[in-house]
Structure 1
Amino acid sequence: MFDNLSDKLDKAFHILKGHGKITDVNVADTLKEVRRALLDADVNFKIAKDFTTRVRDKAIGENVLTTLQPGQLMVKLVKDELTELMGGDATGVNLSGNPSVILMSGLQGSGKTTFSGKLANFLKTKKNKKPLLVACDIYRPAAINQLHVVGEQIGVEVYSEEGNRNPVEIAQNAIKHAKANGFNVVIVDTAGRLAVDEEMMDEIARVHQAIQPQETLFVVDAMTGQDAVNTAKAFNDRLNFDGVILTKLDGDTRGGAAISIKSVVDKPIKFIGTGEKMEAIDVFYPSRMAERILGMGDVVSLVERAQEQYDEEEARKLQKKIAKNEFGFDDFLAQIQQVKKMGNMKDLIGMIPGAGKALKDVEIEDDAFKHIEAIIFSMTPVERSKPSLIDVKRKNRIAKGSGTSIQQVNQLLKQFDQMSKMMKMMQGGGAKNMMRMMGGMKGMKP
């Protein structure tokens, strides 16, 4: 995510490395490279120019703190300005209606139907809502069927009408159905349309007028860059939408749409899509995104994702198993499944400060755990619960069954053994002893 932009900004800040103070000359050189990096990221020229002008004015008028080097100060100023440019604070969806009606709009192929499902899943699992998906795309072949498949996948009802070619009527009838059946959120998935298609734009305007949604969201493919920003402006002129959703952000190495769109349409980015799974949806936090662009990671989001997968009851059971030295490969497999639910591995690693930069040339696939899982699935239930039973003969059988080498099996067994010992040590008072020791050190005199 934003790899190219991150690399170029990092090179720009290197100009200030070794300088004892900020001057007109070194600031000008640095910001020239920052502006070039933004333009390469497909940010609008005027936005990039205004951005660097604001940073320059603040940098020249800033006294460098004794704790900050000029390069560090420049990173901070760029981070603050990026945050403001992308919206400042996170903005949630308006769920005040009864039911709350959310109208989805956007171009053809922007990922609107899939994201409608992701949003329904998000509201169901994170906000304890009872959403209803509404199929109003009457033009695209199999669009209605696609929404039904998505709805079945996440356990959300889909409202559709066979043979009805009037999206206004379908949306109105869906809201009546929602009121009668206890649904508190209605997500209306409309047909994708081009801003230049006057007839289709009139149609969505009629739907908007008829149902008076609490939220109108514009869904756009982040990988289209500056074109996404221009399209958003055309749609906003007609619909006056409430917020933007950027899909396919995990595949965007430039970042132009995310950086520019708020400045052009003056509407916040509310959500981003970060993968193909139904769970791959994040609230958009401008400050966190600015930190990721600048290679600072995003520890807060990483912790939040981990907490979402944390099960207190399961954690207690696991604690008891570790204490009794009964932690086995089935438990290890369960931990892997929890990590996988947090998102794709490359995205997770990018949230760790410095890790994204260190591993930028390393190809990390979504199925990074597939060899480990294959090895564990090739073990018998007894072997999984008692790894100490696995001898050379069993290792050969496991390697053959999993399509891996005996070296890979040995490596996994060794890593598992080391991890088990570490977990046992922490359970056995190792952590408490460490805390006591640190507490005693506080009382020591220099």
Structure 2
Amino acid sequence: MKHQVKEVVLKNGARGLLVNIPGASVMGYEINFRAGEYLVSKEKWEVPHLMEHVVLGANQRYKKARLFQAEFEKNGAYTNAHTSVVSVGYEAECADFEWERILRMLLLSISKPLFLREEFRAEYGNIKDELLARSNNHFRTLAISMNEAQGLLAMTDRERLRQMKNVRRKDLIDHYRRTHTTRNMRFIIAGELTSRESKIKKIIEAVSLPKNPDRFDLPNELPQNLGRPVFVTRASVKNVYFGINTFAMKRFSEPDMDALEMVNTMLTATLHSRILGEARERGLVYSMDSGVDIARAHTGWWFGAQVMVKNAPALFEIIVRELQRVKAGEISATDLDSAKQYLLGRHQRSGQTVGGTMAGYSGRYFFDYVVNDYNAIPDRIKAVSRDRITKISNQMFSDRIGGLGVLTTSTKRRELADELHHQIQPLWS
């Protein structure tokens, strides 16, 4: 969607992006605080998550969560909240005709929660149910187990359930008071903003939150190499879930991240990609995912899939071979052009809704306050070269920090995990 973006710094210390999308029929809001699990002890890990649930409950004006939600949703508006290791975020989307009402209600819930005992108890039960459901997601369980083993900030859902007994209502209130300040607030508002900017700024500047403390620093995580594979057993799993992680101990520049995204696309993003395409053609695996992550002081690259036991070694042979080939610069012009065309099309598709347009800014802005030049992304994609891909692929393995995780039916398959671990070691040599 055609749009203009502007960063604003408000009198109360809050900062945000106003994304004007002329003619848009909906408005989107996201309000972010550095208030995630890295700010609490392991015993209190669930405090930010529980807090986020209760904040969108009863407040100064609406004395029960259901009353607030009934009023909020009466014209079809949507609201939600989410918690990560780093952040707590509150979001909403509504029809354009009620943009001001929804913005005021969202800010009311964030600034005037009551933290009722009965709602604390109810959300305590809801979160136990949520975590139990999440624990059945085997990819999630394996990824978190690997992150924990490699020294990153993480906790499995089963362990989170065990730690919930340590959380008290007072913990939520204390964490809220510590983190929900205007200088720790970042926001993105998108939609038809013509002639509305001044009113939006006044509404947010009037929010009833303390100004200090300032925005918290990002956690400084230091990933560690795994000498042996992480091994998780689930009796019901008859095949093999696996994850491969590798880390570079530096935060890549924008051009280098573009190159890493490009080679990641080339290897697994499509049914004709170099790893997934061949594996599908040989009947080895139905699907496979991979992705890149950036943190305060490191960059990560991961691969994962579920595969039949008998097919795992052959799939790993393809993974290792194709990664070694890109590290050696064996990238054809056809492969590079195809990946560029795919990313250009994906970029164009991603911005066809208000929410999709917001998502193009939120990741970087909430992370390190960079305002993406949305219109420059096609030129950035076109600028990626084979030499940069080769360089960056080698850098992702040169620090020799990586590892394998396997989730499967029983300890009887530990030998298979060790064999697969041995199979991928040449990548870091």
TM-score (norm 2): 0.28
Q: Which has the higher contact order (CA 8 A, sep 6+)?
A: 2
Structure with the largest fraction of strand: 2
When Rg is computed on C-alpha atoms for both structures, the one with the higher figure is 1
TM-score (norm 1): 0.27
Structure with the largest fraction of helix: 1
